[in-house]
Amino acid sequence: QDMDEEKKLIIQKLATKYNMPLQTVSEIINFQFKFVNKVMSKGKFEAIRLPYFGKFNVHKNRLKYIKEKSEQS
């Protein structure tokens, strides 16, 4: 099974379990990742913690590389 199929199956199971519309469950699941994307795309490279899921951040060496590349441009 590919990732999209697994995701759809999880959404279906949660919607059934909690008697919620598929669209609502899908929006709930996708919101946190849209939030992470929005914060990281600002370019400030702040760490983002999603409770019970994990912490997303840019590795310091990668950040150094990005800054050096942008200064060369």
Residue with tokens 């519309």: 21
**Whether the Cβ atoms of residue 32 and residue 50 lie closer than 8 Å to each other:** yes
pLDDT tens track for 22-33: 999 999 989 988
Q: In the prediction, which pLDDT does 2 show?
A: 81
Would the pLDDT of 20 be above 90? Answer: yes
Judged by DSSP in three states, 15 sits in helix
pTM, rounded to two decimals: 0.60
pLDDT in tens, 34-71: 888 888 788 777 888 988 888 988 888 887 887 788 88
Q: Which residue has the higher pLDDT, 66 or 7?
A: 7
Extract the tokens encoding 9. 């199956």
